[in-house]
A and B are shown apart, each in its own frame.
Chain A
């Protein structure tokens, strides 16, 4: 046994010696296989994660969710809030050497608005037209005042691709994207890895610490961590909460954690088709009883080792628009029972649907068991993802555990879920007052006034309770000690500017 161990150890040493020859490569383990590598088409977190290396955006968000310059150095809203003018960074080139200018911005925004399968249409919808005023000045004209536009431009909608490459390669662009980010695309082996190398012409090239970054697709969290510990990887994203102890105990690793934007919530079908016809779907008092019957802290502790953020709002506390006055109610079985009795019932049936992932399955079972004590007979219905999405979009559920990735601005989240025509309002909740408040808020340029409106909105949606927010996941990256300069941003994307190897 021992000799085998020694032989293996020797083998491992040789093997790892071979690997560390190219020291300036950052090897990153990612949980999902990114989808199409085109900012107009991408629909996954993994895709955005890789774009952080490839494609710079007009603006970026800071760790405290402020809008900061990236490809645009400055911007200026018109007095009526119906247009915004960007001053662009000079001497920026795309990876194919063509230059980035106002015409390129115009091309990109029009491309994302007109490409038939573009997923950015909703984010850019208020933009009516784009005017290239000068090489470094571009003006966006809006159909109505729309403050959240900047936050939208800090994500894929603001990513600039080379007009030349996009025109020439058209349908094949996603196979070899050309952008203006710190790294340029080298190769992609499907379901395996994506390799990018430093772009010497990058406008901020001096801040780039690694010559090459390799994103390896390692779906299993445990495997990702063990490869990190073995030195196969330098950084692993989304470490499972249950594995954090291992990271903290390992002297070679550093845990990077930060608050996120995402939210997990229990949606009730209140108006979509026949499945809305349940006691809980029809009666907000019963939904409040349901909220009282669960203990968010227990869910967090049991399902996520207490590493997430138990909370009762759709907007995470990291947002400047978070309403700290609306606290999560503490669990109160007696009160829940009283509310159920007041509604003239003793046992309340409900079927909860969820994607059959480990986390959601655990959350669902905990909720089932806790709610039963108050008088809710919860039936669980796990679905594989594709089926779950279809049923979700068609409102074919009584209750659904939703996972929303969140946005830097509160508007896209709240409008999507709570406005009568919202894109995620699949449970068909509708409150005209709330609609009015949300519309007012998206046009309000003054932050303090805007916040007051969102406090009002929170009050409404938490009383109607068409959806019970449960918790906000936190981001956990584990990196080897030799990787310096990692900054956690609530969008959970790894910005490579400033990341560098140290000994």
Chain B
């Protein structure tokens, strides 16, 4: 176990380094001169040239990367070239928003995905099972931004119950914060719930076929006890893994949902960063999400190994 963790941690850093190199290189290849984008409507040539010098846009890409890497190692993510605000602070402000959204979505996914998956497995072949399959398919297939648009249409435009978007800081009002997060969390949660449901269902079906269930049944143990005591704990093992992985994906996967609901989180920050060529911002966000993603998959593997006795040897 220890060696597994250590080995995985050892590749974590090189992978992150690779990620940062790739994203950096890709950004530098993008057309569009960031100095021109920064120089205002009049784009005075003197100013443009000064900005190129100041942000080293003229240096060879490896040199620029080196400069960036050095300052990141020293704990400085740099400054947004657009707003001149320190990126470290921007990250600190956005991270809670994104994490809140991820947690709420995960909550939705668990509340919806788990029970449906379990009951679909137990009542296999019934209408509930078919309904669940349909839900699973739909959840996988509905574009998040379309679902978001439709929810806005229903709950904001037609019924007027929920705000159409925007973010309210919980320090301002917890109630309105949750109201504003409700629809985005539903949208993101539905997709995750579908994945969750499908996995829980098949894991549960597998578990119910195992020997220990058969033995318990032969001993005359009540069906409810069998499900709760024997089948469910085993069926939940992949769910833990999946949940961890999905959480990692939620952090970065909310790009369009944040766009539709105007939520100032990571996803929107990185997309706007790409479009405005604020490369240091993109670097920082991608690095953070990649790190979280890799850590989460490490945790998922560890959890799997811990929970699954067959793998422990």
Contact = CB atoms under 8 A, between A and B. Distances in A.
Given A43-B41, A117-B50, A387-B31, A218 B276 contact: no
Contacts of B261: 223
B166 A227 contact: yes
Contact of B85 (A118, A188, A384, A390): A188
Contact of A12 (B31, B33, B43, B179): B179
A469 B20 CA distance: 45
A8 B162 contact: yes
Interface in B73-94: 80, 82-86, 89-90, 93-94
B276 A220 contact: no
Contact of B82 (A12, A35, A389): A35
A18 interface: yes
Interface string A106-125: 00000000001111011100
B224 interface: no
A23 to B, nearest CB: 15
B175 A222 contact: no
14 contacts: A15-B173, A19-B172, A35-B84, A42-B40, A117-B51, A119-B44, A190-B80, A191-B90, A222-B152, A227-B166, A232-B166, A386-B276, A389-B32, A390-B31
A15 B175 contact: yes
Contacts of A218: 165-166, 262
A121 B176 contact: no
B42 interface: yes
Contact of A389 (B36, B166, B272): B36
Given A15-B179, A223-B164, A393 B36 contact: yes
B133 interface: no
Contacts of B212: none
A189 B275 CA distance: 20
A385 B276 contact: yes
B93 A192 contact: yes
Contacts of A33: 83, 272
B42 A122 contact: yes
Contacts of B275: 384-386
B277 A226 contact: no
A121 B168 contact: no
Contacts of B262: 218-220, 223
Interface string A179-198: 00000000011111000000
Given A11-B179, A119-B47, 14 more contacts: A8-B161, A9-B161, A19-B176, A117-B54, A122-B42, A123-B42, A190-B83, A220-B165, A222-B152, A223-B165, A223-B166, A223-B261, A384-B32, A423-B44
B47 A118 contact: yes
Contacts of A38: 84
Contacts of B83: 33-36, 174, 190
Nearest to B45: A423
B38 interface: yes
A43 B175 contact: no
Contacts of B168: 232
Contacts of A222: 152, 164
A217 B47 contact: no
Contacts of A15: 173, 175-176, 179
B57 to A, nearest CB: 12
Contacts of B175: 11, 14-15, 18
Interface of B: 30-34, 36-44, 46-47, 50-51, 54, 80, 82-86, 89-90, 93-94, 152, 156-157, 159, 161-169, 172-173, 175-176, 179, 260-262, 264, 268-269, 272, 275-277
Nearest to B50: A116
Interface in A149-180: 171, 174-175
B94 A19 contact: no
Contacts of A387: 30-32
Given A15-B176, A227-B163, A390-B36, A122 B85 contact: no
A92 interface: no
B47 A117 contact: yes
Contact of A191 (B50, B179, B269): B269
A133 to B, nearest CB: 30
Most buried by A among B34, B36, B80, B272: B36
Contacts of B30: 386-387
Contacts of A405: 41
Contacts of B89: 190
Contacts of A189: 93
Contact of B47 (A14, A36, A121, A123): A121
For chain A, the bracket of interface size reads 35 or more
Contact of A5 (B31, B46, B161): B161
A219 B276 CA distance: 15
A41 interface: yes
A43 B34 contact: no
A189 B169 CA distance: 11
B81 to A, nearest CB: 9
Interface in A222-242: 222-223, 226-227, 230, 232
A423 B166 CA distance: 38
A43 to B, nearest CB: 3
B39 to A, nearest CB: 7
B37 A389 contact: yes
Given A18-B173, A192-B93, A217-B264, A386 B166 contact: no
Contacts of A117: 47, 50-51, 54
A285 to B, nearest CB: 32
Contacts of A116: 46-47, 50, 54
Contacts of A390: 31-33, 36-37
Contacts of B176: 15-16, 18-19, 232
B264 A119 contact: no
Given A11-B179, A41-B84, A226 B163 contact: yes
B93 to A, nearest CB: 5
Contact of A226 (B37, B156, B268): B156
Interface in A412-435: 416, 423-424
